[in-house]
Structure formats: structure tokens, C-alpha cells
Amino acid sequence: MQIFRDIAGLKTFLNTWRKEGKSIGFVPTMGALHNGHLSLIEASKSKCDLTVCSIFINPTQFNDSKDFEKYPRTVDNDLILLQKYNCDVVFCPTDDIMYPEKTQLQIHFGYLEHIMEGKHRPGHFSGVGLIVAKLFHVVQPDLAFFGQKDLQQFMILDRLTKDLLFDIELVCCPIIREEDGLAMSSRNQRLSKIERLEAVALFQALQLAKEHLLNGKNITETKKIIYNFFEEKKSIHLEYFEIVDRNSLQSIEESIQKNQQLALCIAAYIGEIRLIDNIIINY
């Protein structure tokens, strides 16, 4: 496994492979790796000749400075895991490498940045788009792999890739869950034992909503059931629960079309830890 901390060395190495006609897969991460990230490494290795993983905690996508400060930093362990999963290349730049000057650029994504995650985390997606664009320019992968848990982020990056004419195929990989259904997340590491047990309520709520929708409940009735579900969970603060079209993320307020693919999306605080989740259903 090759580890690079500078852009020039990484580019030189990757160009050698590119000249040989080898395909390059890319998995951008912020570290604190878990099985969800590692499933992306496996997906990349199954489709590409060379897999690159980046580890960089991007400061511009945090709208809460305390969240940035407390984000898990486990680089040594991350490298051990990546070695175990036969990742070929790891890019671990510093802030000074990725942001040699204070950035002035803002990226706007239209309605996608004003709903759900964008609504509750102003500026977040501008920071995500900025760092991913930088990483795409550096790595120049053929395929890039992202997890479905960050579904709205995937849609944002799909828009970025198309609008900036990146010649990169984006792959959305399934959510990897714990045995009780909790979606794997780096932030799970910050949960106390009690909070960890409570956190499964997000997945339970999504399953409850799915059941009611498929049994004929309408959007309004289903949302009311979920809001009531969380009213009984005093230790959890529901930030949003939305039923949206899978392909556009546009909110569905009234009737659902036959054969429409839906995304049920949720965000909640368990103590001070914010978690998100979603499931996709065919109606």
C-alpha cells in the first residue's frame, strides 16, 4: 500500500498506472473508517485495477466548529484497516495542502442545498462540493464510490460531476448496517452505550414508515405516525423526516405515483450526536 501526503507524488504515481491503461477507482473519506467505508473499497477493487482512498477531514463542510473539533481522528487505525483490505493507495493530505490559501469560492446547487441536509446545515454542501472537486482534479479517477447513507450528498456530487464535465462515473453503494439496523457512521463512535441503544430508533422509524406506506397510508398520515413515534423518545430530537422522490429528492406532499421510487430520509440528534439515515422503497 502506497501512502502519499503530497499532490505531486500522488499524481506522478497515478500517471504511471494511467499510461498503462489501468483503471482507477476512488473512495474519498474523512477517516474514522468502518465497514461501510470498507465496503466501498471492496466495490472499487471489484471494478478497477487500482483503488485510491483519501483521508481528509474537510474543514469547509462543517457548519458547526465544535462538530469539526470532535470529529473522530483515527488515522493510524484507518491505515491498518486499509492495508488489511488491500487498498492500493492512500492520500492523506494536510489542510495546508488542500487549502494553501483561504478559499473564496462558494458552490451553489439550487434546490438541493435548501432541503433536508442543506436546510439544516447551511454551507455544508458548498464545502463538500469544493473538496470533492479538488480531489477529483488530483486523483482523476475513472470511478468514484460513495455510500447511500449520504444520499443527498450523492445527488449533489452527481450534479457537480455533470455540471463541471468530470469524466468520472459515480457509484452509489448500499448502506451497511449493524445487526440491529443502525446505519454505520463514523459519528457512532461518539455515542455512549445508552445512546447507541437508543440510536436504532432511526432505522425502526424508517421501517415503520415503509410498512405504513406500503399498506396504503398516505404521506400525511405516515409523517404523523413518525412524529408521534419520536414524541415518545424523550432522549432523541427528530430534526426532519421526509418522503421524497428517489431520483430528484423533491418532496412528495400528496399522492404517490404507481411504481414511483421513494426515499425515506431522516435526521435526528441522540444527545449531541447528529445521525442521518434513509431507505429506498418501490411503491
Q: Which residues are catalytically annotated?
A: 37
How far, CA to CA in Å, does 62 sit from each of 30, 81, 107, 145?
12, 26, 15, 21
Separation of alpha carbons 264 and 279, rounded Å: 5
Burial of 256 (0-12, 13-18, 19+ CB in 10 A): middle
Separation of alpha carbons 75 and 71, rounded Å: 12
Q: What is the largest CA-CA distance in the chain?
A: 59
Q: Cβ–Cβ contacts within 10 Å for residue 99, how many?
A: 16
Instruction: Return the bridge partners of 282, or none.
Output: 261
Residue in this structure with the C-alpha cell 468514484, named with its chain if needed = 144
Q: Cβ–Cβ contacts within 10 Å for residue 276, how many?
A: 22
Residue in 71, 262, 275 with CA at minimum distance from that of residue 182: 275
DSSP SS3 for 202 = helix
**Per-residue burial over 62-79, b = 16 or more CB atoms within 10 Å of its CB, e = otherwise:** beeeeeeeebbeeeeebb
User: What is the amino acid identity at position 191?
Assistant: L
Residue in this structure with the C-alpha cell 498503462, named with its chain if needed = 20
Query: CA dihedral defined by 272, 179, 34, 28, rounded to 10 degrees?
Result: -90
Burial of 96 (0-12, 13-18, 19+ CB in 10 A): exposed
